[in-house]
Structures are given as C-alpha cells and as structure tokens.
C-alpha cells in the first residue's frame, strides 16, 4: 500500500509540473505543448535552410561556353587563319609572331616550341563555391580528380604578356579545325580555337591558329624545349 501511495504521489507531482509548463507564457501563442511535433518542425526548417544555403547555382554562361557554330562564324568573319606547323615556325622566326600555348602549365613545362609563352585557357578548379564543389563531385563520379574550369584571368594574362598589338599563333595539343569535313561539317572545336575566339572578341586583330596542334609540331621534329624559359 505504501508503495502504491508513493507511486501515486510521483504521478500527481509530474502532472502538476506538466500543467505549469503548459500554462507558461512562453506557450500562450496558440501552440499546444507538443515536444515531438516541435522537434519535427525545427528539423524541417533547418533542413530547408540548409538546402537553400547549399544550392549549387550555376554561374552565367561565359563567352567560352558559346555554341561552337557561333564561335566558328565569328572566327571566319574575323579572318582567323590556320597555319601549318612549318609556316608557324617561319612566321615566328621571320615575322616576330608569338606562339601562345594555351595548354595546362604542366604540359607546357614538359615540352613547347622555343620562345612560346603559356597562358592556360583552362585550369584546375580552384574555387570552393557550391557550384565548384558540385563540379568536383561530378568529375570524381567518373574517376576524374583533376577537373578543370575556364581560366577567368586568361585575357588579362595575355594582355600583360604580349599586348593587343602582338601577332599571335594560338596553339594547343590537337589544334582542331575551321575546315568542314564529312565527319565534322562545322569543323572541330579545340582549346586553341576557343582561345582565338576570346582574343578576337577582346580586340586582338592579328590572331592565327596552329593547324594540327603541338602534337604535329613535335611529330615533325621541330624545335622544342622543356621547363620554363
């Protein structure tokens, strides 16, 4: 009997405490005292806030991401010529043309034409915005852990190294082509042609393109050096 009375006393004490909490001014705004529902509500709001703050918003489209047909049309209108590797070497030696190597810095250091300068058109992803993190994850999904992004300082770097009056031959690994073929009726895009497009958009008027790319340059046994000059 004593045990039952003690248990009853404890229950009554708890009910009284619960009653005091329910009548507290903190809970008089029309919400009943429902701890479980309250926790769920807080979790829902927190999840929604986290989703919004972490949304990977894609930046606005850049000129380099323009449709290839549009880029090709501009290159043709601006009379960007394609030159083979031997003519490029002659123009470099006799007419003070600059070979602009737009490959990644590591490839440039392995081997490049003497006197060439390097400004990479794409670089390893450096930023840590939500969009960049999403892009890293997408590359990693396919086993690519050295994903690249457009180099936002490309034009500024070229301006600093050569200036808009320079005569430039843009080169990358494979070169691409403006010439239509059966397989590629609009030609074939490449890093060097994208770079040439950006240059003419920004006021460069003496822009040439290395046909066959530096792969052909090295294959032909033309002069090459390694490291930085």
Which region holds residue 32: left if phi is over 0, alpha if psi is between -120 and 50, else beta? beta
Give Cα 47 to chain centroid, integer Å. 28
Quick check: 204 and 168 in contact, CB under 8 A? yes
Cβ atoms within 10 Å of 76's Cβ, excluding its own:
11
CA atoms in the 13 A half-sphere facing the CB of 152: 7
And the tokens for 79?
A: 């009379």
Specify whether 17 is catalytic. Answer: no
154 vs 66, 97, 118, 163, CA distance in Å?
16, 19, 10, 12
DSSP 169: E
Choice among 17, 24, 54, 172 that is catalytic: 172
Active site residues: 172
């Amino acid at each position: 009997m004593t045990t039952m009375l003690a248990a009853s006393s404890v229950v009554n004490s708890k009910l009284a405490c619960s009653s005091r909490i329910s009548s507290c001014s903190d809970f008089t705004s029309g919400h009943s005292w429902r701890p479980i529902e309250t926790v769920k509500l807080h979790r829902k709001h927190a999840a929604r806030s986290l989703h919004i703050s972490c949304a990977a918003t894609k930046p606005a489209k850049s000129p380099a991401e323009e449709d290839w047909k549009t880029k090709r049309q501009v290159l043709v209108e601006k009379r960007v010529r394609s030159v083979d590797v031997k003519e490029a070497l002659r123009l470099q030696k006799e007419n003070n043309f600059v070979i602009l190597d737009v490959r990644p810095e590591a490839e440039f250091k392995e081997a490049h034409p003497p006197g060439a300068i390097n400004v990479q058109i794409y670089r390893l992803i450096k930023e840590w915005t939500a969009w960049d993190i999403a892009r890293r994850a997408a590359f990693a999904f396919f086993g690519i852990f050295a994903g690249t992004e457009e180099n936002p300082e490309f034009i500024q770097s070229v301006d600093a190294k050569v200036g808009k009056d320079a005569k430039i031959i843009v080169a990358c690994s494979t070169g691409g082509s403006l010439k239509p073929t059966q397989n590629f009726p609009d030609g074939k895009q490449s890093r060097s042609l994208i770079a040439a497009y950006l240059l003419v958009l920004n006021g460069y008027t003496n822009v040439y393109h290395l046909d066959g790319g530096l792969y052909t340059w090295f294959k032909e046994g033309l002069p090459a050096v390694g490291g930085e000059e």
